[in-house]
Amino acid sequence: MKARPTIFWHRRDLRFPDNAGLYRALKAGGPVLPIFIFDQEILRKLEDPRDARVTFIHRSVTELAEAYRSMGSDLRVYYGKPLEVWAGIVKDLQPRAVYTNRDYEPYARERDGAVEALLEKAGATFHHYKDHLIFEGKEVQKNDGGPYTVYTPFWNKWRERLKSRMSTFEGKEISYYLKPYPNEKYAKNLLPVAKPGKIISLQEMGFEPARTDFPPTEVSRKLIQHYDETRDFPGTEGTSRLGVHFRHGTISIREKARRAQGLNETYLKELVWRDFYSNILQHFPYVVEGPFREEYAAIPWENNEDHFAAWCAGRTGVPLVDAGMRQLNATGYMHNRVRMIVASYLTKHLLINWQWGEHYFAKKLLDFELASNNGGWQWAASCGTDAQPYFRIFNYESQQKKFDPDFTYVKAWVPEFGTPEYPSEPLVEHKFGRERALEVYKKALAEAKRG
Ligand SMILES: Cc1cc2nc3c(=O)[nH]c(=O)nc-3n(C[C@H](O)[C@H](O)[C@H](O)COP(=O)(O)OP(=O)(O)OC[C@H]3O[C@@H](n4cnc5c(N)ncnc54)[C@H](O)[C@@H]3O)c2cc1C
């Protein structure tokens, strides 16, 4: 009788090297068969057949399969509803154990719970590991045991924890938590596969190939060294553009954090925002549905649909907002400073529910990550953890002067800027918008407090 295989299930970790769960599966002995499932439950909700994220995932899965083939194995690729796919796998392969890396989103947790139950019934064990983050769940907590809801103390404790257990790598002392998993050492435990399987095409799943000029996985040392000086200027190439790779695990967070250490603390701190927002989602999953500070649910949004359409299309008459939205629509990317400005304009000046903006970003961002997007939006609307106070409202004109003084970014995305074709007045002007937002927020919060 053939040995029952161990299965490794790739999800948001589309790489072989330095992969925590895969390492554990290989080290346990094997033979290990790696798999990936194109999840119909997720794909059917995507409206755009040219969604670049599906192209990105398809390309990454194809590259991963090639990597396995070069090691004499293969990545088996399925397409379907995860539970049904797993019922088929259990029947066909009778796995002994299934290994994977943790995904903290509510949908994923529910799915994994159901898969675990199904496997248990079939006599297979389910093992999951931390790989997507440096610290998860209860690893960075307040002294009294509760979760942090403010970033700076989270970061301080995070750093303390990082240093609390040291190890060595390539002759240097490094944090145990950043040590890479040497998967290559156990590649011999992969299931040998003589004939590579077929990978379903984008078209067979109802999609079309989209643009493929995805950012590289490597960033120059110089960029990271100068990150704190360049990161706020959208007209320059001053950030790493690694978001999409962190999202899908085509790079290892440990590797990038290790490199950032010693080079630029500001960059490391940005990576830690990812951990922070994921921790918020893990501890307060209700943020997916509504504000972290529940009293903010009382804000009577204007929700003017024409204003929303103008914001989406980059036709608000505020140059930075329009440039940002057009960059997003054209490339699936928007610079972080500009994300903050467009989100502030939508929620404060236009008084449109932050969730409308959140959903629009979720549809468009190549680096869309539920926890970070939700956190970013709640921050801008002042209803989240560690959010800016509601009375601090971005002045888009001073932001322009400070961060894009020569209009380099604006001109790159709004070619008609400075011509009579560009609106002479913004949809909602700063002074009026600011005062209205202050009044509406103040009143709603006071009423919510009175109950
Ligand atoms: C309204 C709003 C929505 C956002 N939505 C997302 C999202 O869906 N996905 C996403 O990854 N980030 C999101 N961010 C955070 C941030 O804008 C992006 O991570 C960043 O712009 C990605 O570009 P980069 O890779 O060049 O970042 P860099 O500046 O090079 O930073 C490196 C990495 O650090 C992490 N990071 C940096 N800033 C943040 C932050 N504030 N919160 C969480 N992680 C951070 C990201 O993984 C990023 O790739 C959002 C911010 C705002 C204000």
Q: What is the pLDDT of residues 160-217, one digit of tens each?
A: 999 999 999 999 999 999 999 999 999 999 999 999 999 999 999 999 999 778 999 9
- Please check whether residue 10 lies inside any domain of the structure: yes
212 part of a folded domain: no
Each residue's pLDDT tens digit, 32-59? 999 999 999 999 999 999 999 999 999 9
184 Cα: distance to centroid of ligand 1 (angstroms) = 31
Do 341 and 298 reside in the same domain of the chain?
Answer: yes
- How does pLDDT run across 392-439, given as a tens digit for each residue? 899 999 999 999 999 999 999 999 999 999 999 999 999 999 999 999
Which of 270, 363, 388 for mutating ligand 1's site (highest number of atoms within 8 Å of CB)? Answer: 270
Same domain, 320 and 435: yes
Shortest-distance atom of ligand 1 to CA 365: 8
Give phi and psi for 168, each to the nearest 5.
-125, 150
Q: Number of folded domains in the chain?
A: 3
Q: Is 369 close to ligand 1, i.e. is its CB under 6 Å away?
A: yes
**CB within 8 Å of 263: residues ≥ 6 apart:** 221, 224, 225
| Domain membership flag for residue 73 | yes
Last residue within a domain, chosen from 132, 165, 186: 132
Indicate whether 36 and 155 sit together in one domain: no
| Domain that includes residue 321, residue range | 287-445
CA-closest candidate to residue 137, choices 248, 275, 13: 275
CA of 83 to the centre of ligand 1 (A): 32
What is the spatial distance between Cα 183 and Cα 191, in angstroms, rounded to a whole number?
14
In a domain, 205, yes or no: no
- Nearest atom in ligand 1 to 377's CA: 1
Domain boundary among 249, 267, 283: 283
Question: Looking only at Cα atoms, what is the longest distance across the chain?
Answer: 78
Residues 237 and 365 in one domain: no
| Domain at 347, CATH number | 1.10.579.10
| Exposure b/e, 42-63, CB count within 10 A at least 16 = b | beeeeeeeebbbbbbbbbbbee
Residues 225 and 110 in one domain: no
- CATH code where residue 10 lies: 3.40.50.620
214-247 tens-digit pLDDT: 999 999 999 999 999 999 999 999 999 999 999 9
Is the domain of 35 the same as that of 107?
A: yes
Could you tell me if 123 and 157 lie in one domain? no
Residues 4 and 152 in one domain: no
CB 321 within 8 A of CB 430: no
Do 292 and 385 touch, CB atoms closer than 8 A? yes
Of how many residues is the chain composed?
Answer: 451
Dist. CA 323–CA 410, nearest whole Å:
5
